[in-house]
Amino acid sequence: MSMSDGLDSAALRKRLAALEAQGEEARQTIDELKSRDALKTQFLSNISHDLRTPLAAIITHAEILREGMLGELNPRQHGSVSGIVNGGQQLIDMIDEILTYVRSASDQVSLVRTEFSITEVVDQVRLLNEALSAKKRLTIERLNGDDLPPVYADRDKLKHVLGNLIGNAIKFTGDGGRIWIKFARRGVDGDELLVEVGDTGRGIARDHYELVFREFAQVDSSPSRPHHGTGLGLAIARKLVDLHAGRIWVESELGKGSRFFFTVPLNPPRD
């Protein structure tokens, strides 16, 4: 077969037209996927907002009852109404987590950086989790950090990251276990802070090190799994650390525990 048989100009034009048509089709598919993704994001955002409103009313009514504003409750009634308040609050927290995820996934989140003490934030998060950890007789210790310089980051977002990591550690560590937070300076001139949140919990298999950071992923996703949640906590933590140009990862051993690490910039050293 000669060259002119296979590649005459008419055949070339035809192939070119076919390629262009394919390219156009691919572009249309991408556009459609993008617009569907935007719709999904908008839907999640709206539904999160709309779920919050009736839930806020339920919690307020239950709190009015619990506070005895409509008459004293006996201890059993008080316990039952407290259950409504706590359950409602847990639902609000989950909805907020979805909302935070939706915002961070669609790049609607920006950083408000200030100088602050990270150990103070860690201590606040420990305090917030005191009741939960006491129930399982867990100890949460901050092992060092008193001499650290301030970090330069978004305080609320790092608090969120620490809250998610410590919350997870509480969830996956058995009664009487240990959770710790530890710091190390690294990088050129020690300008980066490495934060470690460790636990003596059930651990994560090496195959799942990446999976746990994926949205909606839970290592055990069966309906009978012992731990429920949105499956967004670590995905959000990763997004918020990424925004700070940091890194987040896990090292773990099944049955022994996990250590989550993330890095965050420290202020440039001053003269």
Binding-site ranges for other proteins (CB under 8 A): 49, 52-57, 59-61, 63-64, 67, 69-70, 88, 92, 96, 99, 112, 156
Decide whether 55 or 219 has the Cβ nearer to other proteins. 55
Decide whether 113 or 247 has the Cβ nearer to other proteins. 113
Identity of residue 59: I
Decide whether 152 or 209 has the Cβ nearer to other proteins. 152
Q: What is the rounded CA–CA span in Å between residue 243 and residue 89?
A: 28
- Least distance from other proteins to the Cβ atom of residue 84, Å: 12
- Least distance from other proteins to the Cβ atom of residue 116, Å: 14
* Nearest one of 161, 198, 203, 204 to 178, comparing CA atoms: 198
- Least distance from other proteins to the Cβ atom of residue 220, Å: 31
Decide whether 85 or 184 has the Cβ nearer to other proteins. 85
Decide whether 8 or 115 has the Cβ nearer to other proteins. 115
Q: What is the rounded CA–CA span in Å between residue 34 and residue 60?
A: 39
- Least distance from other proteins to the Cβ atom of residue 70, Å: 7
- Least distance from other proteins to the Cβ atom of residue 132, Å: 17
Adjacency order of strands within the sheet including 248-253 = 139-142, 178-186, 192-199, 257-265, 248-253
Decide whether 138 or 240 has the Cβ nearer to other proteins. 240
Q: What is the rounded CA–CA span in Å between residue 200 and residue 76?
A: 36
Decide whether 65 or 179 has the Cβ nearer to other proteins. 65
- Least distance from other proteins to the Cβ atom of residue 100, Å: 9
Q: What is the rounded CA–CA span in Å between residue 49 and residue 182?
A: 36
- Least distance from other proteins to the Cβ atom of residue 55, Å: 7
